[in-house]
Structure 1
């Protein structure tokens, strides 16, 4: 078998995707910590949250706090698992949580629009990185 034939049969490792997976794990950890702080702040009825008036997806601020708190803890667990080269379950759950987090932050958009857009962009990158490097496990041969 020639070198070229062997290369076509084996999918080459992508350094960008492998590094992206590690970076996605770090981003999930940081995002989870920030979501926990947002949740605690919302549960405590902190003054930093603006009243919205008549908003279609308006929930009680305490409900938003609990959503962010629980989602933040789950995101931290998955981010830590990704950093430890967890099996494919961490990738599947990471993609699902990032997709759910996009929806949550879209609905949360009127409360803190700039941060919500940043989190949505981060989650899109996380989904790309986890899907792009599917089957490539750095450090495992």
Structure 2
């Protein structure tokens, strides 16, 4: 076992570490991808609960964005499934998934904002997760260089 001066690795080991997928760039993409998978699952569960039992949610008469809970359930279910699978594509490093992830996280934020009267805490958590997804996808280096 040989020690290198200053803790530096030989050139081959440094390039292997970068190729191994654990650089700063992929760290942000992994973070965004896992958040997308988590946020997508949360939206799927929210959609399923709205589709399964309409009586679980508080009725909100005179709500500006009034839509039947079944409609909200389908919106959340479809968005959740697409965000879930796009999260796996972001982890794989697909550039298109980053762009799609930004658009879907934005749509999810709008849907979660409109979902606030039905489940305030759940919607706020989804808003926070979507905000972190947008932040992580935008701050990961390499979007414009790829």
Superposed, 1:114-133 pairs within 5 Å as 114-133=121-140
- The one of 98, 111, 120 equivalent to 2:118 is 111
Aligned to 1:48: 56
Deviation at 1:19, TM superposition (A): 2.1
TM-score when normalising by structure 2: 0.76
Alpha-carbon contact 1:21-1:126 (below 8 Å) kept = no
Deviation at 1:122, TM superposition (A): 1.4
- The one of 78, 87, 91 equivalent to 1:83 is 91
Q: Return the alpha-carbon distance in structure 2 between the equivalents of residues 20 and 73 of structure 1.
A: 22
TM-score when normalising by structure 1: 0.79
Superposed, 1:13-24 pairs within 5 Å as 15=24, 18-24=26-32
Cα RMSD over matched residues? 1.6
Secondary structure at 1:47's aligned position in 2?
Answer: helix
Secondary structure at 1:110's aligned position in 2?
Answer: coil
Secondary structure at 1:56's aligned position in 2?
Answer: coil
Larger radius of gyration: 2
Aligned to 1:71: 79
Secondary structure at 1:111's aligned position in 2?
Answer: coil
Alpha-carbon contact 1:75-1:97 (below 8 Å) kept = yes
In structure 2, runs of 5+ residues without a counterpart are 1-22
Aligned to 2:14: none
Pair 1:96 & 2:103 matched: yes
Alpha-carbon contact 2:54-2:70 (below 8 Å) kept = no
Pair 1:30 & 2:38 matched: yes
